[in-house]
Amino acid sequence: MILAIPQFYQNAFTASSAQSSAPPRRAYYSSARSRRSLTCLRPLVILRKIDMTDTRIYLDNSATTRVDDLVLAAMLPCFQNVFGNASSIHTFGQEARTAVEQARREVAGLIGADTREVVFTSGGTEADNSALWGVFRSGYRPGRHVITTRIEHPAVLATCKSLESAGAEVTFLPVRSTGQVDLADVAAALRGDTVLISVMHANNETGVVQPIREIAALARERGIVLHTDAVQSAAKIPVNVGELGVDLMSISGHKFHAPKGVGAMYIRKGTKFAPFMTGGSHERKRRAGTENVPSIVGLGAAARLAQERLAEMGSRVRGLRDRLEAGVLDRVTGARVNGTAERLPNIVNFSFDGLEGEAALIALDLEGVAVSTGSACSSGSLEPSHVLSAMGLRAETVQSSLRFSLCYHTTDAEIDRALDKLVKVVERLRGLSRRAAV
């Protein structure tokens, strides 16, 4: 079946305020799946025309967000009108350059950076890779010790493993049951040859915010470079590189209504950095590759919108998340919230006694509610969340977890309906396992 493009554009411009993203309406799951060889909860999908009456509820905004109508509108001219290469001298090129530099100002504005400190990338993963390799290879001071935490995104964890293969010694710090790293652990891990600390600003599974300012103070005293992965926090809470005191930072557009495949890296002026992507002299020689003008323009537009909406994220969206949380704790026995330290306003991670998270995810999806589990797809099998495990949760508690993540477009009605459906699903699944046990 073919996706009807004209209809798609029509939806892009006229979608309801709920902005419920509208991928395929029906999902089919493989029935013969064993626990560990299942196709990773990824539904087998059939492309269908987007349904304007779609009433599904998307509460998986930490995985990705729908491109905002205003972002799409800003991007569209860049595919066919402003199509020049931003490095070209002629007018076509200069128009593209102007668009890229406007976006750079918008991104710099979101994070409190100077425009010269913003480098566009293909997303959060590239920004994390570039930041870590860029500092490690720069040789700005002797040493090969790197500090990170056990709860980082794989974009940082796997890169740290690669750094180890290249001769680095990496300390992977534990976290407390609250989900936060202990400052005393950071201080104790510091060595004379520590060159880099990478600690995420907020965790993608629990939303827990890490004490970056305090870590920055420790790093600064010793001249150690500090990177933070702000992929989840940017556009959700105020993120200001000056106030945080970081030297490098990663952000990703698709987490705040820009398209997938675009992000940015902040590099504080004066930080020694060896480019990870080599080639031409784009991005002041810090990231080679022809600029992806439409996506960069989308990132800029999303950054501007995010700044305008930040206060509402902290009040209305936080209020919705709190209402969902209170409703679940009130109506579902054996429910608990994972991550009790300060959190982003849009994420809540629950565990439910006696529930299989993946079964609940599928049941909720069939009810039209999209969430995610505390499990990650890796090579076609489900790995229990390394984040919840690092917080000391027992394996069965980890397996029973579900993450709900909201966005600016989430409505009161969606939260109420999602809560009703969750209560129903948990009761039904628990009833089924009770019957299976007798």
Positions marked active-site:
377
Give the residue with the Cβ less far from ligand PLP, 12 or 200.
200
| Shortest CB 141 distance to ligand PLP, Å | 26
CA-nearest of 250, 274, 285 to 264 is: 250
What residues have CB less than 8 Å from 391, skipping those under 6 apart? Answer: 151, 175, 176, 177, 178, 179, 206, 338, 339
| Shortest CB 124 distance to ligand PLP, Å | 2
What residues have CB less than 8 Å from 420, skipping those under 6 apart? Answer: none
Neighbours of 222 (CB within 10 A): 11
Give the residue with the Cβ less far from ligand PLP, 134 or 327.
134
Give the residue with the Cβ less far from ligand PLP, 11 or 180.
180
Tokens of 328: 């679940």
| Shortest CB 203 distance to ligand PLP, Å | 7
**What's the sign of the alpha-carbon dihedral 299, 304, 306, 307?**
positive
| Shortest CB 317 distance to ligand PLP, Å | 18
Cα separation values, 389 from 231, 352, 395, Å: 21, 15, 7
Position of minimal CB gap to ligand PLP:
124
Give the residue with the Cβ less far from ligand PLP, 62 or 171.
62
| Shortest CB 155 distance to ligand PLP, Å | 4
User: Contact residues for ligand PLP (CB under 6 A)?
Assistant: 123-125, 128, 153, 155, 200, 204, 229, 231-232, 252, 254, 263
Give the residue with the Cβ less far from ligand PLP, 82 or 382.
382
